[in-house]
Amino acid sequence: MNVIDRDGTLHWSEASVLVTGGTGSFGNKFVEIMLSRYHPRRLVVFSRDELKQSEMIARFNDPSLRFFVGDVRDQARLERAMHGVDVVFHAAALKQIPSCEYNPFEAIQTNVIGAENVINAAIDTGVKRVVMISTDKAVNPLNVYGATKLCAEKLFVQGNAYGYGRGTVFGVVRYGNVIASRGSVIPIFATQRTSGTVTVTDPGMTRFWIRLEQGVAFAIRCAEIMGGGEIFVPKIPSMRILDLVEAVAPGCKVEFIGMRPGEKLHEVLVAEEECRQVLEFEDMFLLEPIYPSWAFRAREGGKRPGAGFRYSSDTNSWWLSPVEMREFVRD
């Protein structure tokens, strides 16, 4: 059986899969779901952290797992790791906003040059499908992290111009804040709760939220349906920051400390300037490429939202209550 049929069906049990940044929050959940539900022939974890890799070896203890110590800044190492790989999920990134602001050269090396290296290595080693994990910070970015992820999105979309003719296609998954992931505000509120006071930058702030398992499942689904050049955006709920405080640290005093540099009051997953590219489906939006120089085919079944459309956390029609967020955090 082929890994990918003529109709585009992807057979995971026959596939060799690699995830960059594989010891991070996304990578750990991705490995868990892949091993329990999809049973790939081989699953490669590519990351810089040997300690976290050893912890994952002890946790999963699965014969299909392989571990490569390496950095996405090193294209030769990526090529070695991708030998015989069919599908790649690119989740490696420097994503701590203050750190990226202070170390912009480093953020560019990993988030932009690293993305280029993944693209080149995938094409040169014959990988069939590559999915990049992006963020709402890439939309109209105000900080270095968002700007580097926007550049990476552009590279991945246009990477199809080089890869499509050689059998390698690229797509992007863009979603919002991951509940309880490293660097999210939820663990910060949980820690501050013990003092009786939590710090909030602005009382009017809203954010998109997605569960880690949901984000991983969405990325896997997009790998199954992608044709090359799409940016996939799931429909996910918003939450007001004060409702989040009530969910995580009920009864605590709130201290307002002002907006931080590069921070937005509301976050956007589809900008108004992107509305002409958008197709809306029941559970997601799909952004078509602006300059498809390859054999791009539009997806059928979606509807055009129309001029002026934007998908923003403050105008969203789906809102999480404090009770619902408590359930998500507990899970």
Residues taking part in catalysis: 137
Q: How far apart are CA 73 and CA 111, in angstroms?
A: 9
Q: How far apart are CA 141 and CA 153, in angstroms?
A: 12
Q: How far apart are CA 104 and CA 212, in angstroms?
A: 27
Task: Please tell me what DSSP assigns to residue 297.
Answer: -
Q: How far apart are CA 153 and CA 173, in angstroms?
A: 9
Query: Are residues 55 and 81 in contact, defined by beta-carbon separation less than 8 angstroms?
Result: no
Length of the chain: 331
H or E stretch at 17: strand 16-20
The dihedral over CA atoms of 31, 33, 39, 45, expressed in degrees to the nearest 10, equals -10
Q: How far apart are CA 216 and CA 222, in angstroms?
A: 10
Q: What is the largest CA-CA distance in the chain?
A: 60
Which token pair is 193? 């709760």
Residue 63's contacts (CB-CB under 8 Å, 6 or more residues apart) are: none
Q: Report the SS3 class of residue 248.
A: helix
